[in-house]
A = this chain, B = another copy of it.
């Protein structure tokens, strides 16, 4: 069972920003800190901005910050947004996917229940919970204080 790379990178961006909440960060420095492609992060940052998790200031001295307090950013909500249409199996598509038995399949209900349980755990945690060790994170990611 796999989350998309898009989800993985989104959570890394949020963790980076939570390490020094007041400070503006650029895509280039987050990409460099995690050694990932700027191109991937650009899409991730666009998505996070569109959904109101981060704010971006353009121009010189610009960059992104969290748009809310870390305690108000629920991991379950973030992951639901980044996973989007990525469902556990093809039968979860609106048209039932290509599976012949999707109309009567009892496995689908079981998988749906398991997915709910997965998100119910993520809903219990906020960005504040997973960034309590922000000093350590900041050090490893070499983030200069705000």
Contact = CB atoms under 8 A, between A and B. Distances in A.
Interface of A: 1-4, 7-8, 11-12, 15, 33-35, 75, 79, 83, 86-90, 98-101, 103-107, 110-111, 113-122, 125, 129-133, 136-137, 140-141
A31 to B, nearest CB: 12
A4 B107 CA distance: 15
B118 A106 contact: no
B118 A35 contact: no
A65 to B, nearest CB: 19
Given A15-B101, A34-B100, A1 B88 contact: yes
6 contacts: A1-B3, A1-B87, A3-B89, A12-B99, A15-B101, A106-B133
A99 to B, nearest CB: 7
Enumerate the 9 nearest inter-chain pairs by beta-carbon distance, A residue then B residue, closest first: A114-B121, A117-B117, A106-B130, A118-B118, A114-B118, A107-B130, A3-B88, A117-B121, A8-B89
Nearest to A110: B125
